[in-house]
């Protein structure tokens, strides 16, 4: 079970980046509507360039509607997703992307949450191991080992029992003398 606990921690650490790089984007990103409508797949990744700050696919302001029309027309004219996005970024700047490109300084925002989570897990695992380890040492009597693993460590009841047993043995010994 000791291995099981360690495996749990390792799996948890691996699961998140694995999920992140998984081919399917987040479920709120690509809806059924988005999968069927390539224009929506693009506009759902962009911000309306007016000051409303809304995701372009759901924006109902005039600027937003004009931009949606631009994306649809560009697709009809045979342009690809990357081409369309690049032309919009050239015109409005990086601010039009709903999420920054994972490069340069902006890489921090993509990596930091997962690094922080991984560090958090490691600290939690380390603290747990240390606490469990200390407890195991605390209940080890002279010349005697009380076993324990990740889930088999002795409890307070085990400790009390060991102490009472030692006391009873000592008293019996004294009475015998």
Partner 1 sequence: MSEIGRLALILGFACSCYAVLSIAWGLRTGMAGPLKSGRRAVWIVCGLTLLATIILERALVARDFSYRYVAEHTSLDLPPYYAATSLWAGQEGSLLLWLLILSSYGAAFLWCYRKRFDPFYDAVAMVVATVMIFFTGLLTFVCSPFRILATPPADGNGLNPLLQDPGMMIHPPILYTGYVGFIIPFAFGIAVLLMNRTGTRWIEEVRRWTLFNWMFLGFGVLLGARWAYIELGWGGYWGWDPVENASLMPWLVGTAFLHSVMIEQRRGMLKTWNVVLIVLTFELSIFGTFLTRSGVLTSVHSFAESDIGPWFLGFILISSTAATALILYRKVLLESENRMDAVVSREGSFLFNNVLFVALTFATFLGTTFPVISEAVTGEKISVSAPFFNRVNVPIALALLLLTGIGPVLSWKRATASVLKRNFVIPSIVGLLATLTGIPFGLHGVYPIVCVAGAAFVLATIAMEFARGIQARKDAEPAASPVAMIHLVQKNKRRYGGYIVHLGVVMIFVGVLGSSVFQKEAHAPLKPGESLAIGSYTLTLQGVDQKQIKNAMQTRAAVEVSQGGKALQLMHPSKAFYSKSQQPMTEVALRPTPAEDLYLILGGVNDDGSASIQAYINPLVSLVWLGGIVMVFGTLIALSDRMRLKREEKLLG
Which residues, 138 to 177, sit near partner 1 by CB under 8 A? Answer: 138, 148, 150-156
Near partner 1 in 110-139, by CB under 8 A: 110, 112-114, 116-117, 120-121, 123-125, 127-129, 131-132, 134-135, 138
Helix ranges (H only) for the chain are: 2-20, 32-36, 38-43, 62-76, 81-92, 107-138, 156-176
Stretch that binds partner 1, among 75-83, 106-114, 160-168, 169-177 (CB under 8 A): 106-114
Q: In the set 19, 66, 170, 172, which binds partner 1 (CB under 8 A)?
A: 19
CB of 65 to partner 1, least distance (A): 7
Q: In the set 41, 42, 44, 74, which binds partner 1 (CB under 8 A)?
A: 44
Is residue 156 within 8 Å of 138, Cβ to Cβ? no
Question: How far is the C-alpha of 30 from the C-alpha of 43, rounded, in Å?
Answer: 11
- The token duo for 133 is 């380890």
Is 69 a binding residue for partner 1 by CB under 8 A? The answer is no
Q: Residue 153 has what DSSP assignment?
A: -
Q: Residue 77 has what DSSP assignment?
A: T
């Amino acid at each position: 079970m000791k291995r099981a606990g360690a495996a749990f921690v390792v799996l948890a650490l691996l699961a998140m980046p694995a999920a992140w790089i998984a081919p399917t984007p987040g479920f709120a990103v690509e809806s059924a509507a988005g999968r069927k409508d390539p224009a929506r797949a693009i506009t759902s990744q962009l911000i309306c360039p007016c000051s409303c700050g809304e995701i372009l696919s759901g924006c109902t302001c005039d600027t937003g509607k004009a931009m949606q029309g631009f994306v649809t027309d560009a697709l009809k004219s045979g342009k690809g997703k990357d081409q369309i996005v690049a032309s919009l970024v050239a015109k409005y700047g990086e601010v039009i992307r709903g999420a920054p490109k994972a490069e340069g300084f902006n890489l921090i925002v993509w990596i930091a949450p997962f690094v922080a989570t991984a560090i958090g897990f490691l600290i939690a695992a380390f603290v747990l191991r240390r606490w469990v380890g200390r407890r195991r040492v605390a209940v080890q009597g002279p010349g005697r080992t009380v076993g324990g693993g990740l889930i088999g460590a002795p409890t307070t009841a085990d400790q009390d029992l060991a102490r009472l047993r030692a006391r009873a043995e000592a008293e019996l010994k004294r009475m015998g003398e």
